[in-house]
Amino acid sequence: MLSNIRIVLVQTFHPGNIGQAARAMKTMGLGDLVLVNPRRFPDAEATRLAAGATDVVDNARVVDNMAQAVDDCVQVVGASARLRSLPLPHFDDPEPMAAELIAHAQDAPVALVFGRERSGLTNDEIRHCTHQVSIPANPDYGVLNLAQAVQILAYEARRAWRHHQASPASPQTPPSLPTRDQMAHFETHLHEALVTSGFLTQPHARTEDHLRALFARAQPSRKELSILRGVLSTLEQAGSPGHGKESR
């Protein structure tokens, strides 16, 4: 399960933070590090501050965007303050998040995503996530550096894994969830159906954000998602010109 947990760092500014994050990961048994468009990498500072976790840094993958980082993941949790502008499911405490993450990591990749040191994740990047999580720090001084945030969530994941391992009877494996890539194809299909039907008429309306949040909460299985796509295809065919008319 731990090998299925991916840490994603988005546009990290200081290479030393990459090394410190790698060190935080390795202390908790995590090794899958993906860097989205880092400012400088590879870099000697990243290697130096990784200390004994240079293998995590050396094996890190660099990608151009969030989609490439998480497309194969079934759950993607962005570390972020609660955003009222995006109705994505939000964990106010890392503990239940970690328990759910570990459950899904039994047979598929999952990801914890961390944004830029100063500005965090953009709204578009958070839209690639299925959930958000906040660390309940001191409200008067809730300042955590990147490595500290990685350390806390990595620790919660390891603690959830240990509880899972120690359980006398492991809970039933949850149904296989679709990957983010499969969900993205479904969202595109849904968008096309909504536009074609005339339901979606305002390009900047938040309807699709709310629908995305609805499916994130529902967490449909791969089979259920396939059924939904079949429903959309049937509705599209039923609404196409000439459908159902008798030929003359």
pLDDT tens digits, one per residue of 1-52: 899 999 999 999 999 999 999 999 999 999 999 999 999 999 999 999 999 9
Q: Which domains does the chain have, with CATH numbers?
A: 5-166 (3.40.1280.10), 180-239 (1.10.8.590)
Asked if residues 41 and 10 have their Cβ atoms less than 8 Å apart, the reply is no
- Cβ atoms < 10 Å from Cβ of 28: 21
Alpha helix segments (H runs only) across 176-243: 180-197, 207-218, 222-238
Question: What integer pLDDT is reported at residue 207 of this predicted model?
Answer: 86
Mean of all residue pLDDT scores within the chain: 90
> What is the DSSP code (8-state) at residue 131?
E
Residue 25, H or E segment? helix 15-27
| Mean pLDDT along residues 165-187 | 83
For the four alpha carbons of 53, 58, 64 and 70, in that order, the dihedral sign comes to negative
Q: What is the pLDDT of residues 135-156, one digit of tens each?
A: 999 989 988 999 999 999 999 9
- Cβ atoms < 10 Å from Cβ of 168: 4
Which residues touch 102 (CB under 8 Å, ≥6 apart)? Answer: 1, 157, 160, 161, 164
Query: Bridge-partner residues for 10, per DSSP?
Result: 36
Query: Bridge-partner residues for 75, per DSSP?
Result: 110
| Mean pLDDT along residues 98-115 | 96
Q: What is the pLDDT of residues 64-85, one digit of tens each?
A: 999 999 999 999 999 987 666 6
Query: What pTM value is reported for the model?
Result: 0.89
CA–CA separation, 124 and 128 (whole Å): 7
